A and B are shown apart, each in its own frame.
Chain A
Amino acid sequence: MELETAKTPDALKRIVIEPVSRVEGHGKVTILLDDDNQVHQVRLHIVEFRGFEKFIEGRPYWEVPVLVQRLCGICPVSHHLAASKAMDMIVNGGILTPTAEKIRRLMHYGQMLQSHALHFFHLSSPDLLFGFDSDVAKRNIVGVAAANPDVAKMGVLLRKFGQEVIRVTSGKRVHGTGSVPGGVNKSLTIEERDYLLKDIDQMIAWSRDAVGIIKGLHKSNPALYDVFGAVPSTMMSLVDDKGDLDFYHGALRARDKDGEVIFDQVSYQGYNTLLTEGVKSWSYMKFPYITALGDEKGWYKVGPLARIQNCDRIPTPHAEAERAEFVAYGGAKPMHGSLGFHWARMIEMLCAAETIKDLLLDSDIMGADLMAEGPRREEGIGVIEAPRGTLFHHYRVNEDDLVTYANLIVSTTNNNTAMNVAVRDVAKNYLTGHEITEGLLNHIEVAIRCFDPCLSCATHALGKMPLEVSLVDASGAEIDRMTKDGEGRIGKGAL
């Protein structure tokens, strides 16, 4: 793959961006340049994560849906629900009562709303509103609050509402326990339903405004938005049995880069034959691909841009109208520019807000039948469309109810190759031939954040998140250095 492996790496200058900022956890990008600043190799390394599967082994299965939430500070509910779906298979073969399924859906769509609001307003809008190489002191959510207080307030209150949906359905704002193997442990009271209902129309209105913001940005500068980090690739997601967008449950569908269906309505229970988790020596994170297509052609992207273009329809009216406009904008071919993720993401946020209203108006969410009975099994696979893409949880449990095997393919892993390709595209188009500046390096980070601000869940104690970029010559000597401290202050110059 072009720019993945340089022919003579030892003779090249090395730039390391570590950690990648405004992402969750530790990612590292290495860029190899020659003396004329021509890019020869770009790799996005994910330096943490796999340890969590070992951490789960030996734990009682009923602890797992709560335990796995600690993987992620942005989308803990996705892990909570994917693990619950897998454990449903263990305890009863995957049966849910209508109340349990609708409570889980409500929780999940609340999660989608809050996570998409965070991703767009807090982590990505500073780049989009101020420019990728604007003043770094301004390029953050606090800068957005100062320059566009209404936009920032909208983002804050949308996320807050999503968090409230999660709190009401799971019992707590974080580390909730609402979903349990075989069902849920609470439904909603009338008071809880009415508490959420009073604000939902405002959330739908703001979500429509948010689609308008990103749509306007996209159309104001198509030369940038249509091509930045373009990754023509296969796209994969869950769709329901009618081909509609569904974040909670469904079967797998994949389309090729031109939009032709590769497979459809494939049960995710067979994910481990459908997909192969490839490995590369330079990253701890795996590189999954569709087994039948092989590693060179079988990699794919997941998440909003894939989901919006994979489905035939969104089952809520305003979001469906926006999807139709999105697809029409792309013409006869799917859009693959990475900034298109944000447009698709806001359409999904609108879908989530509309779906939350539909669920709140469904009396089943106040039902009393919370758990279903069924035959015990020893293996379970749960899949969900998490905010950043398809999320697989696979467990085996022994007769003592202890987990003996855990395999997770998180959204970031599914997008691993696609993110690397996008980062290479941006490096080739923006860094080549230029003196490296913080603004240019931020272009790399912008590309990553389109996919995912959530590379892994790492420690975040005070003082633990500096950014350090070193430029090293072929002999290993540092010739330039750039640092950003926890307050965003920039330092420059070799030590």
Chain B
Amino acid sequence: MTAPTLIFGWGNPSRGDDALGPALLDAVEALRDAHPQWGPVDILTDFQLQVEHALDLEGRERVLFVDASAAVADAPFRAEAIAPAKDSSFTSHALSPQGVMHVYAEIKGSAPPPCTLLAIAGETFELGEPLSPAAKSHLKAALAWTKDWLAARPA
């Protein structure tokens, strides 16, 4: 059954701070059973956003997209409500959450559910590297924000 809340994180767990998205999902998953007040929460991960992920938005009340950000200005994290946008991304990686929402609207002919983007700042993205000390700190802050976001479940 489709849970009303979806958290979708993407990144390559073997590439240093690129693992921030999957790492946040792991942390939420570990806490989920102890927090029934969040309601049912689906957790999905992939290497990158692709158009078929639009189908994962179907039947949700709210969606949180989570990715690592290379922008220092995003430290420790940036969270913002996002809207569908006719995305002009040109790489297989860079289909944005806004673009995924736009694909949903194109395919389903209706507005996607409310979506929020959580961008967690990372510093190093090298193969085989663990999370950097800064990324671990940013992850902790982002997790605290995510717990509040989950607790603020709409009635």
Closest B residue by C-beta to A456: B127
Q: Once the chains bind, are B91 and A465 in contact (CB under 8 Å)?
A: yes
The listed residue (B45, B87, B107, B125) touching A149 by CB distance below 8 A is B107
Q: Report the Cα distance A461→B127, complex, angstroms.
A: 14
> At the interface, yes or no: B146 with Cβ under 8 Å from chain A?
no
In the assembled complex, A453 has its CB within 8 A of some CB on chain B? yes
Given contacts A137-B88, A488-B90, contact A462 B55 (CB under 8 A): no
Task: Please pick, from A123, A136, A453, A460, the residue contacting B94 in the complex, using a CB distance under 8 A.
Answer: A460
CB pair A149 B46 closer than 8 Å: no
> Are A462 and B71 touching (Cβ within 8 A)?
yes
Nearest CB of chain A from residue B134's CB, rounded to whole Å: 14
Which parts of B47-99 form the interface with A (CB within 8 Å)?
Answer: 47-48, 50-52, 54-55, 67-71, 74, 86-96, 99
**Closest 9 A/B residue pairs (Cβ):** A488-B88, A73-B47, A459-B125, A460-B93, A70-B14, A145-B106, A461-B68, A21-B90, A55-B128
Mark interface residues in B6-19 (1 if CB within 8 Å of A CB, else 0). 00001111111110
Chain A residues with Cβ below 8 Å from B91 are 19, 21-23, 460, 465
User: In the complex the two chains form, is A140's CB within 8 Å of B55's CB?
Assistant: no
Interface check B122, CB cutoff 8 A:
yes
Given A137-B88, A453-B92, A484-B90, check contact A174 B107 (CB 8 Å).
Answer: no
Chain B nearest CB: distance from A232 CB in Å? 29
Tell me whether A142 and B119 are in contact (CB under 8 A). no
The complex places the Cα of A21 from the Cα of B90 at a distance, in Å, of: 6
Question: How far does the Cβ of B107 sit from chain A's closest Cβ, in whole Å?
Answer: 5
Q: How far is the CA of A460 from the CA of B94 in the complex (A)?
A: 7
The contact string, 1 if C-beta is below 8 Å from chain B, for chain A 454-466, is 0001111111110
> Which A residues touch B93, using CB under 8 A?
24, 73, 460, 465
Bound together, the chains give a CA A184 to CA B36 distance in angstroms of 35
Whether A55 pairs with B14 at a CB distance below 8 angstroms is yes
Residue of B nearest to A462 (CB): B69
Complexed CA–CA distance, A123 and B90 (Å) = 9
CB-based contact B46/A174 at 8 Å: yes
Interface string of A298-333 (1 = CB under 8 A from B): 000000000000000000000000000000000000
Instruction: Give CA–CA (A221, B87) in the complex, Å.
Output: 29
CA distance A73 to B22 in the complex (A): 14
Closest to A149 in B: B106
With a CB–CB cut-off of 8 A, which chain A residues contact B119? 462
**A-B contacts at CB below 8 angstroms, number:** 150
Tell me which of A89-97, A154-162, A189-197, A206-214 binds B: A154-162
A222 within 8 A of B: no
Question: A55 and B47: CB pair below 8 A?
Answer: no
> B115 on the interface (CB 8 Å rule)?
no
Report how far A217 CA is from B99 CA in the complex, Å.
27
9 A-B contacts, Cβ less than 8 Å apart? A55-B128, A73-B46, A137-B88, A156-B51, A459-B15, A461-B67, A462-B70, A462-B74, A486-B94
Q: Is A152 an interface residue (CB 8 A)?
A: yes
Q: Is the CB of B70 within 8 A of A140?
A: no
> Is B103 part of the binding interface, using a Cβ–Cβ cutoff of 8 Å?
yes
Q: Is A376 an interface residue (CB 8 A)?
A: no
Q: Whose C-beta in chain A lies nearest to the C-beta of B99?
A: A142
B11, B45, B50, B107: which has the most chain A beta carbons within 10 Å? B50
Does A74 lie at the interface of the complex (its beta carbon under 8 Å from any beta carbon of B)? yes
- Given A73-B46, A156-B51, does the pair A141, B71 have CB atoms closer than 8 Å? no
Q: Does A492 contact B (CB under 8 A)?
A: no
CA distance A73 to B119 in the complex (A): 20
In the complex, are the beta carbons of B103 and A145 less than 8 A apart?
Answer: yes
B92→A24 contact, CB < 8 A: yes
Q: Is A52 an interface residue (CB 8 A)?
A: yes
Within the complex, the shortest CB–CB distance from B52 to chain A, in Å, comes to 5
Smallest beta-carbon distance B50→chain A, Å: 7
Q: Which of B32-53 contact A (CB under 8 A)?
A: 44-48, 50-52
- Extra inter-chain contacts (19) besides given A73-B92, A140-B88, A460-B93, CB under 8 Å: A67-B14, A118-B92, A123-B92, A136-B88, A140-B90, A145-B102, A145-B106, A152-B103, A155-B51, A163-B52, A174-B46, A458-B15, A459-B125, A460-B47, A460-B94, A462-B68, A463-B70, A487-B96, A488-B89
Among residues 124 to 181 in chain A, which have CB atoms less than 8 Å away from a CB atom of chain B? 136-137, 139-142, 145-146, 149, 152-153, 155-157, 159-160, 163, 173-175
Q: Known contacts A70-B13, A174-B46, A461-B125; decide if A22 and B18 are in contact (CB<8 Å).
A: no
In the bound complex, CA of A155 to CA of B107 (Å): 11
Q: Does A489 contact B (CB under 8 A)?
A: yes
**Contact assessment for B12 and A142 in the assembled complex, using a CB-CB cutoff below 8 Å:** no
Cα of A467 to Cα of B12 in the assembled complex, Å = 21
